[in-house]
C-alpha cells in the first residue's frame, strides 16, 4: 500500500479513536481516568513485538539471500522498535506510578520488555558506528534473532511467573473488557497499525535512498583519488 494512502487512513481513523478513548469509553472503577493509558500502552507494546518479528524476517532473509534489501528491511524494523517501545515505556511509567506507586516494575514482563528495547537500541547503534556494510548486515542479523527470541518469553511471562503486571485481560484466558471499552481498544489498535505501516514503508524508502547516496559518494571519492 502506498504511503500516502496509509497516511490518509491513519489520520481518518485517529479522530474517532481519540473520541472513543477519551469520551466514549467508561471510566474504570478502580483506576479512574489513568486507565485510559491502556488504550495506547497495549498497541504500542504489540508494535514492539511486530518490530521484532519483522526484524527477524529481514535478518533471516538476508542470511539466506545475502541481499542487502533485506538488511534494510531489518534495520527499518529495528528503528521502529526503538520508536514505539520508547513511547510504550513512557506510557508504562506514567501508568505505574499512580497505580503501583513506583515508576517501573522490574518484574519478568517489565524486564523482558526492557531487554527487547535495549536489543533494538544496540542494533541501531551498531549500524551507526560500524563502517563496513557487510559487517553491519551480518551482526545486525544477530540482533534480529535475539529480538525474536525475547518475544515468546516476554508474552508468556504473565502466565509463567508471578509478576507485578496483572493477569491477562485481552489475551487468551483473560478476564475481558467492559463491552463499551472494546471499541476504544480496537480503534486504538487500528490507528496505530496505520501509523506504524506508514512510518515503516517510508523508512524503508529512505534507507534505500541513503544507501544509493553512500554508494555514489564512495564512487565519487574513488574517482577523485
Give the DSSP letter string of 110-168.
HHHHHHHHHHHHHHHHHHHH---HHHHHHHHHHHHHHHHHHHHHHHHHHHHS--SSPSP
Contact 86, 51 (CB under 8 A): no
For residue 171, pLDDT beyond 80: no
Is the distance from CB of 82 to CB of 121 less than 8 angstroms?
yes
d(CA 17, CA 130): 41
Cα 143 to its chain centre, rounded Å, is 15
Residue 82: CB atoms within 10 Å: 20
pLDDT exceeds cutoff 80 at 174: no
Distance of CA 87 to the CA centre of its chain: 9
The answer on pLDDT for 200 being more than 70 is yes
- What is the C-alpha separation between 161 and 144, in angstroms, rounded? 25
69-114 tens-digit pLDDT: 999 999 999 999 999 999 999 999 998 888 888 888 888 888 999 9
pLDDT in tens, 15-58: 999 999 999 999 888 888 998 999 999 999 999 999 999 999 99
Q: What is the average per-residue pLDDT within 197-201?
A: 96
Hey, what's the cell of 199? Answer: 512510518
Q: Residue 188's closest CA among 79, 6, 37?
A: 37
Domains and CATH numbers, the chain: 3-25+35-163+177-224 (1.20.120)
Look at residue 216 and tell me whether its pLDDT is greater than 80: no
Mean per-residue pLDDT over the chain, rounded: 88
Q: How many CB atoms lie within 10 A of CB 48?
A: 27
CB–CB of 94/139 below 8 Å? no
Least confident of 50-59, 111-120, 147-156, 214-223: 214-223
Q: Are 186 and 21 in contact (CB under 8 A)?
A: no
pLDDT of residue 205: 92
Amino acid at each position: 500500500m502506498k504511503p500516502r494512502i496509509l497516511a490518509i487512513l491513519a489520520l481518518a481513523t485517529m479522530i474517532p479513536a481519540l473520541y472513543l478513548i477519551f469520551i466514549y469509553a467508561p471510566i474504570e472503577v478502580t483506576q479512574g481516568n489513568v486507565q485510559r493509558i491502556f488504550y495506547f500502552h497495549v498497541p504500542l507494546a504489540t508494535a514492539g513485538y511486530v518490530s521484532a518479528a519483522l526484524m527477524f524476517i529481514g535478518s533471516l532473509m538476508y542470511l539466506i539471500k545475502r541481499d542487502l534489501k533485506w538488511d534494510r528491511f531489518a534495520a527499518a524494523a529495528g528503528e521502529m522498535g526503538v520508536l514505539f517501545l520508547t513511547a510504550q515505556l513512557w506510557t508504562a511509567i506514567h501508568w505505574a506510578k499512580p497505580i503501583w506507586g513506583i515508576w517501573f516494575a522490574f518484574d519478568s514482563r517489565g524486564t523482558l520488555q526492557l531487554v527487547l528495547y535495549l536489543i533494538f537500541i544496540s542494533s541501531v547503534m551498531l549500524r551507526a558506528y560500524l563502517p563496513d556494510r557487510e559487517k553491519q548486515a551480518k551482526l545486525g542479523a544477530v540482533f534480529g534473532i535475539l529480538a525474536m527470541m525475547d518475544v515468546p518469553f516476554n508474552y508468556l511471562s504473565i502466565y509463567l511467573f508471578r509478576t507485578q503486571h496483572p493477569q491477562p485481560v485481552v489475551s487468551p484466558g483473560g478476564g475481558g473488557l467492559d463491552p463499551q471499552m472494546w471499541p476504544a481498544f480496537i480503534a486504538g489498535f487500528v490507528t496505530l497499525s496505520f501509523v506504524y505501516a506508514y512510518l515503516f514503508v517510508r523508512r524503508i524508502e529512505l534507507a534505500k535512498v541513503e544507501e544509493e547516496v553512500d554508494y555514489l559518494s564512495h564512487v565519487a571519492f574513488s574517482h577523485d583519488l
